[in-house]
Structure 1
Amino acid sequence: MKKCALVTGASGFTGRYMVEELSAAGYDVVGLASDALDDSANYISADLTDHAQLIEVVTSLQPDVVVHLAALAFVGHGDASAFYNVNLIGTRNLLEALCACDKKPEAVLLASSANVYGNQSSGFLSETALPNPANDYAVSKIAMEYMARLWMDKLPIVIARPFNYTGVGQDEKFLLPKIVSHFRRKAPVIELGNLDVSRDFSDVRSVVNAYLKLVKSCPQGETFNVASGSIYSLMDIIQLCTELTGHAIEVTVNPDFVRTNEIKELGGDASKLTGRIGDWKKAELRETLSWMLLG
């Protein structure tokens, strides 16, 4: 009999790939989401902020493993309170619902964010770097991590802190999909902000593979960076897109997009993750961009 895997935020960008990854690994996947869904998996419409509804849904499922991806993730979202209602209180509701189940799950992975580190440290950050969140999204995520520790004697929780990642289907309000979109439609010009900053970018397919391996090994109470370990500047990315498409694009700096005091180089040290799960499907950025640009 297949084990039941519950994925929250299953209709979102990461959720769709997570459902595919778990299904390919032999799980019977149930997706939890609050919006319109397709027929590629079993989905249940539920709102994380509806405490009573969530308890009813989760206790009826009795999941064997849980991957909690549902979150308000766009940093520029205008309603600050929504970050806390969904990312903090919604997660607490989920953990309480899981504790109400007759059967304790084998693993509960909570997706946090490398945004919790803020912009005060440069280089390749490990999990020992002190959190220094710089916006409400990041504060809501570190608050979620601290809140989750109240439940770690009751549930097998593992926390993942992904650095930037991308892939087909990510909203164009995020940086790399914006750049890819300009190249796909052969736009003559693109407006960007700081051109000399370098960041760590992973492939969403790599990220969900790491999540699967963490669920299977379930290092309870541990926190792991999920990162490629390589950094690229915006101009590096523009150059890769030019090489892949043969299209040259003029890059202009829009002062409205420039962030003051931004760290020049920032990446993730994923050695703790690799030490725990071994090799995982890390794709090079050129491969990811080729997939996004050329299909």
Structure 2
Amino acid sequence: METLQLENIKLTWLRGGVNFLDGGAMFGVVPKPLWSKKYPCNDKNQIELRTDPILIQLGNQNILVDTGLGYGKLTEKQKRNFGALEESQVEEDLKLLGLTAKDIDYILMTHLHFDHACGLTKPQNDGWISAFPNAKIIASKIEWDEMREPNIRSRNTYWKENWEPIQEQVIVFEEEWSLGPIKMVHTGGHSDGHSILLIKDGDELLIHMADIMPTHAHQNVLWVLAYDDYPMNSVAAKQKWMEYGLQHNAWFTFYHDAFYRAVKWDQQNHVTDKIERKR
């Protein structure tokens, strides 16, 4: 497990599963000869995408950022369609760290698409129960409302088995939510309720842009996903927070990137520091 140690906060990436999605969809209108130089694809034009939650340890608090693909939830057809070759091993990784799912105090949901939210619940008998029964689950109100009443486009990614068992644990916010040095900020873009994460710890700044910058190869502010519901909002939010992060020498962290966990860039877009994923 890769880690990033700040002054008072430690981040650890857990194994939440992997899927392979169409590279063209992940890079929108960007031509393949451009994006494939930065992020390789297989012979089916698919790119590898992790779904790895980040465990944030702050004092005696254990906080997850998103929850991975879970296990036992995808049908064989869904596994084929999503290229889901590996399900979640979050509980196993927590055990290696001396923790259990009951030790998670907060879950910060950047959004509630299936590849981020399937790990919220787990199978029991013929139904589903909360995978993290003691956690407060934080999400933007817009996202939570759409999760429960999806539209014709979003109903394929907002699943009732991911929200019904945990609805009593959910705390919603409008524009921002904070816990000490950790702040969630609603951006929209990828989904109407999409949020990002900011951590200010001493002299260090960390920005987790979730799916408005899902991999290091999406650094260009115009490289947004065909999956984005509001792509121009993604562009505006990414432009704002990229500029802010570069000005403050921020770490940019990733949930989906198969190659890097975190990257620092300078003002000329050169990598100055990085944490590579062990493959």
Q: Give the TM interval when normalised to the shorter protein.
A: 0.3 to 0.5
Structure with the largest fraction of helix: 1
Larger radius of gyration: 1
TM-score (norm 1): 0.33
TM-score (norm 2): 0.34
Structure with the largest fraction of strand: 2
